[in-house]
Amino acid sequence: MKDVVGIGALNLDLLYEVQDLKVLREGGMPLRAGRETSLPQKEFTKFLTMVTQAGTLRWRSGGGSAANTVVAMARMGFKTGFVGSVGTDEEGAFILQEMEGVDLSHVKKGGKSGICLVVLDRQRDRALLVQPHANDSLRFEDIDLSHLSTTRYLHLSAFVGTGPLEVQRQLMMVLPPAIKVSMDPGELYARRGLKEVLPLLQRSSVLFATAHEILSLTGQDHYKDGCREILLLGPEVVVCKMGEQGAYLACKEGEMEFHPQGETEVVDNTGAGDVYNAGFLAGLLLGKSLNDSLAFAHRVAAKSIRGYGRQRYPDEEDLKAFQEA
């Protein structure tokens, strides 16, 4: 029995530091702080050349939203697995090596591995640019339903291509009712709008999203109204992640807000939201209250941004302290 199995993109994250994101924007690149986008191969190659010349490579790490979440949970001691696709190249081997402790027996291998360029400026603002490659080759036939039937939670995150999204939609129709689904649509799915991801939302128990993503999904003017709208579509809990400001949560029983104390030095906030998801799911799996789960989620996410990539992810000691609190 697994605690969580993830389905999403598997990428090699290359973190480059530049003086200012606007320098690259002036060169024609569609970069916005805190935002994620994708480019055709030719334009992506052009951008890679630009960022290599303008920036400094600071870190190389395995990545992908759902992958980050299950890695964080595995390091805390939970039993996790992953379904996805990587290349048969050096990058693919590195990505899988970075997922130690996660059951990778259902990861498909072929072609070239996905790449995510993480561009961080001196103000610690970062933008993501993704080239999916092998991620877009995932097909429904690659999914072993008997494997998924042994997990408590199935955690979904976004793909660039429509094909893997359709795989996730089909999966929601045949997934055993006993399996709970959590989902982080990220900006890629949020931009598609409610209609595109509705089958995923209707089957989800927990939705994680930023305020910007909530507004993109729903078209509402305020994130709280957007959360309430999504709550009517199926999820039992909607968690709106707001970074250093905390979080807003809407559920069937009501609403609550979590406001953290103090500040955290930011080295790299890439994947912090994914670690947040891991912390909240950990609380649910341990039977903790929603408020305690929010507090733990913030604590482990704040820890993660004090290092590059997965350098400062939570571990078994963090979970032990949470259990004993």
The pTM assigned to this predicted structure is 0.92
**What's the pLDDT at 172?**
97
- For residue 87 the two structure tokens come to 């290349």
**What's the pLDDT at 281?**
98
**What's the pLDDT at 125?**
63
Q: 3-state DSSP call for residue 80?
A: strand
Mean of pLDDT values over 152-160? 97
List Cβ neighbours of 185 (8 Å cut-off, separation of 6 or more).
Answer: 157, 158, 197, 200, 207, 209, 213, 217
Closest CA relative to residue 218, chosen from 28, 122, 207:
207
pLDDT mean across residues, the chain: 91
Instruction: For residue range 215-247, list pLDDT tens digits in order.
Output: 999 999 999 999 999 999 999 999 999 988 999
**What's the pLDDT at 35?**
66
Q: 3-state DSSP call for residue 66?
A: helix
**Lowest pLDDT segment from 33-37, 138-142, 257-261:** 33-37
Mean of pLDDT values over 50-59? 82
Mean of pLDDT values over 116-130? 76
Mean of pLDDT values over 69-83? 98
Superfamily name and number for 2-9+64-111+133-324: Ribokinase (3.40.1190.20)
Higher-confidence residue: 21 or 282?
Answer: 282
202 within 8 A of 233, measured Cβ to Cβ: yes
Strands 206-210, 237-241: parallel, antiparallel or unpaired by DSSP? Answer: parallel
Sketch the domain layout of the chain as residue ranges: 2-9+64-111+133-324
Q: Say whether pLDDT at 33 is over 70.
A: no
Mean of pLDDT values over 262-271? 80
